[in-house]
Amino acid sequence: MGCGSALSEFDCVAALGQSQANSVWESHWSTWITEADIQEMTSYGLNTIRIPVGYWIFEDLVYTDSEHFPQGGLAFLEQLCGWATDASMYIIIDLHGAPGAQVAQQPFTGQYASTAGFYVDYQYQRAYWFLGNMTELIFNGQHPAYGGVGMLEIVNEPIPNDSLNSEYYPNALAAIRAVEAQYNVPAAMQLSIQMMDARWGAGNPDADIPDLTLAAYDDHRYVKYESVPPTTQAGYLQTSCTDQLGGNWPLLIGEWSISPATADQDDPDLTNSVANMPFYTDWWSAQVQAYEMQDGWVFWTWKTDLGDYRWDYQLAVKVGVIPADVQDAYAFDCGAYRQ
């Protein structure tokens, strides 16, 4: 894309300039995920798509004198949602990049910020505006492409902050419900509203919310970052076969992979070599079985340019690590690892 060493969208747009950056991103959005990808997903039995977006997709929210983000993304989001809706997929739209950045020095926020600047009132106000506008697009009757959207995730992977639970969560829910009320959305059609669960470590999301109707929860289960004794094939399989999770309910595992601990991923028994593919098939199967005992899952991610099937669902199917039918996960028997 020509971003070179830039660590985020913000840095890349600042380096390229707005006009060139817009051209680069338009080309990327036009080709990276297409309707053929959606058809391929559904052919594998996948029925849910989680779409991470930044607040800057609504360009009126951007401080153009100090913030640098690609423009024109909203049309592509609508196009993607239209394809997914036509394919009868369930769509989660995730506020992945919050105003001011919810985590410091994390490219996924869209800006490699030195500090987490999200947790103040004026940034919360921008996030409420984002959520309200997204809800309006879904329900105002002018954008049928959003018909498959059933859930809004109100912020991805926040850090602990008292105001997150006492202010942001209840007010974010209220902003969404207010727009639904404006359009007389019946209770049965209201959006599920998703927060990171208590296991994530940013507090109990239920603590200050008076009405938890249609509240849902997200956990990102990257076993590679957990304590897995021992870090062997058998150790990973035992961990996933006995994974009980728990926490808030209903829980959807919104991100996970089949990548082992960074320190071990190049060990002979854990590389992404052909010889280790049967292990990775079994480990994928064990995780699917565990997460299906919750409210479902979304793999991170569908497609990458890393060339590593442990992070790339599409590639993993192509090379034969993940079966072309998701139900084949149940061909693996976890019994021996539950002794």
Distance CA 198, CA 218 (A): 9
Whether 59 is catalytic: no
Determine whether 239 is exposed, middle or buried from the number of CB atoms within 10 Å of its CB (0-12, 13-18, 19+): buried
Report which of 288, 259, 75, 55 is spatially closest to residue 152, judged by C-alpha positions: 55
Report which of 185, 87, 100 is spatially closest to residue 136, judged by C-alpha positions: 185
Catalytic residue among 9, 153, 157, 180: 157
Is 167 in contact with 146 (CB distance < 8 Å)? Answer: no
Catalytic residue among 9, 153, 180, 255: 255
Q: Quick one: CA torsion of 1, 123, 92, 211, rounded to 10 degrees?
A: 170
Is 324 in contact with 43 (CB distance < 8 Å)? Answer: yes
Distance CA 104, CA 114 (A): 5
Whether 167 is catalytic: no
- Classified as helix, coil or strand, 217 is strand
Rg (CA), the chain: 20
Q: Show which residues are catalytic.
A: 157, 255
